[in-house]
Chains A and B, each alone.
Chain A
Amino acid sequence: MGNHAITTSTGAVAGFYSVRRHPGILAWIFSTDHKRIGILYLASMLSFFLVGMTLGFLMRLELIAPGKQIVEAQTYNAMFTLHGVIMIFLFVIPGLAASFGNFMLPLQIGAADVAFPRLNLFSWWLFMTGAALAVVAMFTGGGPPDTGWTFYAPYSIRTGTNVVLAAFAVFVLGFSSILTGLNFLTTVHRLRAPGMTWFRMPLFVWSLYATAWIQVLATPVVGINLLLIIAERLFGIGVFDPAKGGDPILYQHLFWIYSHPAVYIMILPAMGVISEIMPTFARRTIFGYKFIAASSIAIASVGSLVWGHHMFVSGQSYAAGTIFSLLTMLVAIPSAIKVFNWVATMYKGSIVFETPMLYAMSFIFLFSIGGLSGMMIGVLSFDVHVHDTYFIVGHFHYVIFGGMGMAFFGALHYWFPKMFGRMYLRKPAKIAWALILVGFNVLYMPFFVLGWEGMPRRYYDYLPQYHTPHLIATIGSWILVSGILLMLGNLVRSLYRGEPAPANPWGGTTLEWSVPSPPPLENFEEIPHVDRGPYDHEGVGSK
Chain B
Amino acid sequence: VNAISGLTVERHRDYVGAKMGMWVFLFTELLLFGGMFILYAVYRTVHPEDFHYAAQELNTVVGTLNTLILLTSSLTMALSIAAMGAARKKASILLLVLTIALGLWFLVNKYFEWGAKFEHGLYPNSEFLLQHSKGEILFFGLYFTMTGLHGLHVIVGVAILTVVAFKMAGRPDESVEFGEDGISKLEGGRMAVLDGSGRPVWTGGPIDDSVEKVSIRTKYRPVQRRIRREDFAVLENAGLYWHLVDIIWIFLFPLFYLIT
Contacts and interface: CB of A to CB of B under 8 A. Distances in A.
B130 A231 contact: no
Contacts of A217: 27-28, 31
Contacts of A499: none
A20 interface: yes
A237 interface: yes
Interface string A113-128: 1011101000000000
A298 B39 CA distance: 28
Contacts of A246: 138, 141
A245 interface: yes
A212 to B, nearest CB: 9
B201 interface: no
B42 A247 contact: yes
A224 B7 contact: no
Interface of A: 19-21, 112-113, 115-117, 119, 178, 181-183, 185-186, 189-191, 216-217, 219-221, 223-225, 227-228, 231, 235-239, 244-247, 250, 254, 521-522
Given A21-B4, A225-B35, A239-B142, 6 more contacts: A20-B5, A186-B21, A224-B36, A237-B124, A237-B142, A246-B138
A245 B134 contact: yes
B42 to A, nearest CB: 6
A237 B144 contact: yes
A247 B145 CA distance: 16
A53 to B, nearest CB: 32
B141 A254 contact: no
B14 interface: yes
A65 B137 CA distance: 49
B29 interface: yes
A235 B24 contact: no
B5 A221 contact: no
21 contacts: A19-B4, A19-B5, A115-B17, A190-B16, A190-B17, A191-B14, A191-B17, A216-B28, A220-B29, A220-B31, A235-B125, A238-B137, A239-B141, A239-B142, A239-B145, A244-B134, A244-B138, A245-B43, A245-B134, A254-B35, A521-B9
Interface residues on B, range: 35 or more
A220 B28 contact: yes
Contacts of A185: 20-21, 24
Given A219-B28, A239-B138, A227 B17 contact: no
Given A221-B34, A239-B39, A239-B145, A182 B24 contact: yes
Given A224-B36, A244-B130, A183 B21 contact: yes
B28 to A, nearest CB: 5
Given A244-B130, A245-B135, A521-B7, A223 B32 contact: yes
B32 A220 contact: yes
Interface in B115-130: 123-125, 130
A116 B233 CA distance: 14
A239 B17 CA distance: 39
Contacts of B135: 245
Contact of A245 (B5, B47, B144, B145): B47
Nearest to A182: B24
Contacts of A190: 14, 16-17, 20
Interface in B1-34: 4-5, 7, 9, 12, 14, 16-17, 20-21, 24-25, 27-29, 31-34
B32 A522 contact: no
B176 interface: no
B238 to A, nearest CB: 15
B21 A216 contact: no
Most A Cβ at <10 Å: residue of B38, B43, B145: B145
B40 to A, nearest CB: 9
Given A21-B4, A227-B149, A237-B124, A189 B31 contact: no
